[in-house]
Structure 1
Amino acid sequence: MRKTLLMALLLAASTALAQTHPYLDTRLPVEQRVQDLLNRMTLEEKVGQLTQINVQRLMGRDEWDRGPLNPEWLDRILAKQHVGSLLSGGGAAPQPNTPEAWARMTNDLQRYALTHSRLKIPILYGVDAVHGHNNVIGATMFPHNIGLGATFDTKFPHQIGEVTARALRATGITWNFAPDADMGRDPRWGRFYETWGEDPVLASEMVAANVRGLQGPALGPDSVAATVKHFIGYGSPVGGKDRADARITSAQLRGVHLPPFQAGLTAGAATVMVNSGSVNGVPAHASGELLTNLLRGDLGFRGITVSDWEDVRKLQTVHKVAPTYRDAVRMALAAGVDVSMVPHDAEGFTSAVLDLVKSGDLPAGRVDEAAARVLALKFRLGLFEQPFADAQKASAAVTAGTDLALRAARQSITLLASDGRTLPLGERARRVLVVGERARDPRSQLGGWTIGWQGLPKNEDTRAITILDGMKQVVPKGTQLRYSAGVPGQPDADALVVVVGEPPHAEGEADNPTLALPAADLALLREATASGKPVVAVLLAGRPIVIPDDVRTRLAAFVMAYLPGSEGGRAVADVLYGNTSPSGRLPFTWPMAAAHVPAPYDEPGRSGAPLYAFGHGLSYTTFAYRDLRATRDAVTVTVANTGRVAGSHSVLAFARPQGSTSPARLVTFGRVVLQPGESRVLTLALPLGRLPAPNVSIHVGDLHATTID
């Protein structure tokens, strides 16, 4: 009754305001509404719109407490500091961590903000929903981006974006810090699995599709704001170390790193997050060249630029380019940062901005500009009209998409090597032994950014089908399936399926300078190959892993499962048993040794031949190409299934300038599903500007030297 009365009072207040204040008139253009509201705001209220605080600062008794919302901190941050946006950093969830609790928490926060805002300005609420609504226990977790890249199929990021947007909005979240538009050029880097791979054309298509899925045809009450991150060059840190300086030429910056961001912005991305590192010695958060000249000037971006976690302060504490926090704030805002993910000290940030404006060190117009962008997004999302979520719809939305997650995981799985006999498991393998703790522990297949920042905490559980679960679901009648954590001395089995991988991880904690397996996993593989039984290795990892030759060459089959999400176990099982013919193709180059990286396929003069090339991937059937033709607008080729089973196949078209010896680069791709003996003409579009030169040679598989005049 009390909440109902409060809602009625808020509605009445809004109606009264609408009669006198144009900014609440939905018939007016957004720009006019923003200007009217901005004219009514105090400087303190405007500065609040530039401030983003982690929700844990509003909980319990200290800044990392996940207790109930604390009235004292609600007053200090939302009422007194006028903070315009909140976020849940990794693990910052309500208790209990259920969809309904999320909706209730965001509604309570929104209600408090509206009640204590003189002008009834709602808050934005952001999360890193990078593979589904991955902060909520029981949510559907999709494959991480690196696995989706292996599908070479843009329908997955688009559809996953739609499902994720509905889940977020149903829990009161309106801002998603995704998709990642970084280029995965160095697999040692801890955030490699958050990328779509090493190729800019592949990444551009996937980023654009995901943005369109998250935001829909236009931002509104049923969509969320997408964020292309981290602008720019973050994926090429020196030595593969997270947040290290990136040494990038102008040609590399514009030719390799910029296209995915440009594609995301063309698709309508409402916000951009800044690179936490530096580019050629200049921290991105302090670079007017990147954030103003390139992003605003060259790309024409008009939305919000948001910092990453505490990165404005890090201009002082880490990069040491600012002598004081006040100077760091000045540098970031002057460079082009609109919103600071503070994330705890609201008063420290707002007081610094106010002092800068009052002293004349920061133009008041810069604050107006940034606040206007935030307000415009709130209007576009319909928050002034529909600020609350329906908690009764939250659970269904958050748990939706399991079939989509399964299909995406199936299509991502990449068969790297096979003896042609052991897989698919069947008549020759009536007794199968599944080995390794990772086969029954969902953490490795879910990866980082799952409930917690560093992955699923050991004291928590979430809905997921493990590889062992999946194999139990599809094991044929008459087949004996057993499990062992280790390799028995004399395995009583026709084949061993050994599941190995990396533990869940995120950011700097995930850096892997040697690309090595954990020692225990390598020992498990070594013991298995020494048993004399056929060994199928299934790798759960977000990057290529270097396995010693004496182990790898003794495998009967090598399956790359990436980080396949909550339905990943069933997807792996379907591939192992032949219910699905593997069709994933590597979205990156797999090196022979860590000493050979970074060495993306399109980099001239790369060191050492790769173990598996970009685009590599085997199938249980075979495909052939014929009749390759090309124009300035499209590549056309006939694809035939020449094998004995149905299969899906990604067709990749590469180009190089005619007569050039430079590496051929991917220019377009598409996918086809064929029955045995079936053939189909596939037409792959070539967007304007995609070709590297007026006259180029196109090749698809072994067909090449087709010239576009």
Structure 2
Amino acid sequence: MRLSASAVLASFLAANLSPALVQTPTKSRQPVLGRRSATLLKVDGLEFKDLNHNGKLDLYEDWRKPASARAADLVRQMSVEDLAGVMLHGTLPAIGGAEASIGRGSGYDLARSKEMIDGKRINTFITRLGGDPTLIASSNNALQEIAEATRFGIPLTISTDPRNNFLYTAGASNDAGSFSKWPETTGMAAINDPALTRRYADTVRREYMAVGIREALSPQADLATEPRWARLNGTFGEDADVARAQVKAYVEGMQNGTAGLNSGSVITVVKHWVGYGAQKDGWDSHNYYGRYSSLTNSQLPYHVKPFLGAFEANVAAVMPTYSILENITLGGKPIEQVGAGMNSQLLTGMLRGKYGFQGVVISDWGITSDCSQQCREGMPAGQRATPAQIAMSWGVMDLPRPARFAKTVNAGVDQIGGTEDVAALLAAAKSGELKEPRMREAATRILQQKFETGAFEDPYVDADAAKKIVGNPASLQASADAQKRAMVPLENRSHAVPVKAGAKVWLFHVDPAAARAAGLTVVETPEAADVVIIRAETPSEMLHPGYFFGGRQHEGRLNFRPGDAAYDALLKAGKKPVVMTVYMDRPAILTEVKDKVAALYADFGVSDAALLDVVTGKAKAQGHLPFELPSSMAAVAAQSPGAPHDSARPLYPYGYALK
């Protein structure tokens, strides 16, 4: 159980005033001590790391003591400058890539990393490094070695956006690479088997830990109630009860149980508190034009419900949404028109007060950054936005930067994501806008989780073993099986599937080698085929190319029309029987497709091999739609962004699957 704000302060005082607490051990089994530069101390026949290099055993170095007492002792020794470093969640800088400024490349820039770790005293970072697991693991070990040599030897907590699924969007997810590749979480909701979701998260947990990642910036407990929304694919669908059970199972798998953090846990951050799925007109609040959520008071409890599953599983951390909730009143008062990361009504009043959350609150990335004219208006035509335009300081853009930091922490955020601007946080402290006791409270919460996960004892991993754990055959098979199960059968006229072995097939966006491996004969034209197999995805438009995220996200229409490559392939098939699957990163409108195909599936991320196993009858699609599929864009525009499955006359209702 994590401590409330008052309990955190009480434990801090107890650690400094109570001899009994200091002297009473809680455990005595010698743990493995991973070290590079720290010397060992021997006390009572046991070994401890001398992390602050003072030649004696400090309470925070004593692994026999409770994590709360160790955190309080460490915070007692820290300066305001030290506290500021703990309260920032930076980005590990990369080298050798076009997106090195946001952490993607061939490796870490160790010189710049050292300046952040040793110079700025930051000890929590997101990694966006991909590629070989051994490289990731050894690179993370190199960073831990830098951290071990700092004044207090505080280990790094290295986090990641999701990296075990299909859709990759800069700033929201990582390419899966060697990691096991599961369907999107919407696909896990389509299967609706919490035990499988727990196994999925447990697999991801083991892969993360193998490369030194100890914090997951997931899951999304947001609800998919606005079908045009670009982040919908990361949710567990639009039903709050299903999402609640799925979120709970995910946290249990990732944190290695339900009792809170332990040495086998990956710190789990449930997001985005709250109402993110109800985006006004479907625009995403990574963008200035999408900064509002249209959630209503009556809909708010429904959108809170999935978070209750995370709380039941003792989730370690919560991330607030970027969005401004424009229609909500709390306690009879209109909600302040600022993003949730700076909203004390949502964080201190609701999250900590009403729901009693005791863990760490970490902001989403960029909420204290400067939103320039290009951030607000987009880049001129023909120019692509760069990471320099990223800022989501909605409602406080005109405040001085230190004031934004103060407002964020005073609202209830313990750690600010996506920044290394220690100077701005210290300026807020120096001005008096941010009080030192609040900083000590926040740092205590953050450090306690490092102690609970055993990072102070051994932050290092076996780099050679990482490749054996990440994407091992059993995990790859389990993830492929889940891809198949998650597919939803929508149509199968005249028993078009299963496709018989040896059938001649014309393919669109399906690898011919995979088709041949499945026992099919690939032909060059639809006219020569017995069956046409088409892979498609939900249509979208590029409506905001001048914005960093708007130029990368799927926005706009959901309906097929001539000019869409997959739809044109469907028309090209003529009268040949067509088997079509549509990747549902958003709910596709299939009105123009339904009557032109022999067999139709919804998928949530599936490999060619897994797809063909289903098409040829070697595996069975078992999913049910985790959101309804509307019949028209007019119906989409008329529905409420915050209400589930409420469009008029949906083509396929929520929960549908062909029987």
TM-score greater than 0.5 by the shorter chain: yes
| Equivalent residue, structure 2, for 1:12 | 40
| Equivalent residue, structure 2, for 1:494 | 530
Q: Aligned runs of 1:658-673 on 2, under 5 Å?
A: none
- Per-residue CA distance 1:311-336 (angstroms, 9 max, x = gap): 22268865252422112111111111
Q: Which residue type is aligned with residue 91 of structure 2? A: N
Q: Aligned runs of 1:258-297 on 2, under 5 Å?
A: 258-280=304-326, 281-297=337-353
1: CA distance between counterparts of 2:124 and 2:275?
A: 27
Closer/same/farther in 2, CA of residues 112 and 483 from structure 1, 3 Å limit: farther
1:342 correspondence with 2:418: yes
| Equivalent residue, structure 2, for 1:324 | 400
| Equivalent residue, structure 2, for 1:360 | 432
Structure having the higher strand fraction is: 1
Structure 1 unaligned regions, length at least 5: 1-5, 441-467, 620-709
1: CA distance between counterparts of 2:357 and 2:371?
A: 24
| Equivalent residue, structure 2, for 1:221 | 263
549, 569, 572: which is aligned to 1:524? 569
| Equivalent residue, structure 2, for 1:645 | none
146, 161, 166: which is aligned to 2:186? 146
Q: Aligned runs of 1:197-596 on 2, under 5 Å?
A: 197-217=237-257, 218-243=260-285, 244=290, 245-254=292-301, 256-280=302-326, 281-313=337-369, 319-321=394-396, 322-343=398-419, 346=420, 349-400=421-472, 401-426=475-500, 431-436=503-508, 438-440=509-511, 468-475=512-519, 480-484=520-524, 488=525, 491-502=527-538, 508=550, 509-517=552-560, 519-528=564-573, 531-549=574-592, 551-564=593-606, 568-596=607-635
Structure 2 unaligned regions, length at least 5: 1-33, 42-47, 166-172, 327-336, 373-390, 543-547
Closer/same/farther in 2, CA of residues 315 and 288 from structure 1, 3 Å limit: farther
2: CA distance between counterparts of 1:483 and 1:601?
A: 45
How far off its partner does 1:147 sit? 1.2
Closer/same/farther in 2, CA of residues 213 and 514 from structure 1, 3 Å limit: same
Closer/same/farther in 2, CA of residues 287 and 498 from structure 1, 3 Å limit: same
135, 147, 155: which is aligned to 1:101? 135
Q: Which residue type is aligned with residue 589 of structure 2? A: V
1: CA distance between counterparts of 2:492 and 2:411?
A: 52
1: CA distance between counterparts of 2:206 and 2:198?
A: 13
- Per-residue CA distance 1:404-442 (angstroms, 9 max, x = gap): 11221121111111214212223xx85331321x212xx
Closer/same/farther in 2, CA of residues 576 and 41 from structure 1, 3 Å limit: same
2: CA distance between counterparts of 1:351 and 1:382?
A: 30
Q: Which moved more, 1:351-360 or 1:317-326?
A: 317-326
How many corresponding residue pairs? 559
1: CA distance between counterparts of 2:179 and 2:91?
A: 22
Q: Secondary structure at the match of 2:442?
A: helix
Closer/same/farther in 2, CA of residues 166 and 514 from structure 1, 3 Å limit: same
221, 225, 229: which is aligned to 1:181? 221
Closer/same/farther in 2, CA of residues 554 and 601 from structure 1, 3 Å limit: farther
Answer whether contact 1:285 1:315 (CA < 8 A) is retained: no
How far off its partner does 1:578 sit? 1.7
| Equivalent residue, structure 2, for 1:456 | none
| Equivalent residue, structure 1, for 2:27 | none
Aligned-residue Cα RMSD (Å) equals: 2.7
1: CA distance between counterparts of 2:346 and 2:642?
A: 25
Closer/same/farther in 2, CA of residues 138 and 75 from structure 1, 3 Å limit: closer
Q: Which residue type is aligned with residue 297 of structure 1? A: G
Q: Secondary structure at the match of 1:63?
A: helix
How far off its partner does 1:156 sit? 2.0
Q: Which residue type is aligned with residue 553 of structure 1? A: D
2: CA distance between counterparts of 1:130 and 1:293?
A: 33
- Per-residue CA distance 1:48-94 (angstroms, 9 max, x = gap): 00112111268899735736544542342111210021112xxx316
Q: Secondary structure at the match of 1:12?
A: strand
- Per-residue CA distance 1:357-399 (angstroms, 9 max, x = gap): 2221111111111111110110011000011011021011111
- Per-residue CA distance 1:520-574 (angstroms, 9 max, x = gap): 221111222xx2111111212322222453x43121111112223xxx3233222
Q: Which residue type is aligned with residue 276 of structure 2? A: Y
2: CA distance between counterparts of 1:483 and 1:300?
A: 62
2: CA distance between counterparts of 1:192 and 1:493?
A: 36
How far off its partner does 1:340 sit? 1.3
Answer whether contact 2:85 2:122 (CA < 8 A) is retained: yes
52, 67, 84: which is aligned to 1:30? 67
TM-score, scaled relative to structure 1: 0.74
Q: Which residue type is aligned with residue 86 of structure 2? A: Q
Closer/same/farther in 2, CA of residues 206 and 63 from structure 1, 3 Å limit: same
| Equivalent residue, structure 2, for 1:673 | none
2: CA distance between counterparts of 1:308 and 1:57?
A: 21
Q: Aligned runs of 1:54-203 on 2, under 5 Å?
A: 54-56=91-93, 63=101, 66=105, 69-88=108-127, 92-93=128-129, 97-115=131-149, 117-131=150-164, 135=175, 137-203=177-243
How far off its partner does 1:138 sit? 2.2
Q: Percent identity?
A: 27
- Per-residue CA distance 1:334-370 (angstroms, 9 max, x = gap): 1111111233xx2xx2112212222211111111111
Closer/same/farther in 2, CA of residues 58 and 294 from structure 1, 3 Å limit: farther
How far off its partner does 1:495 sit? 1.8
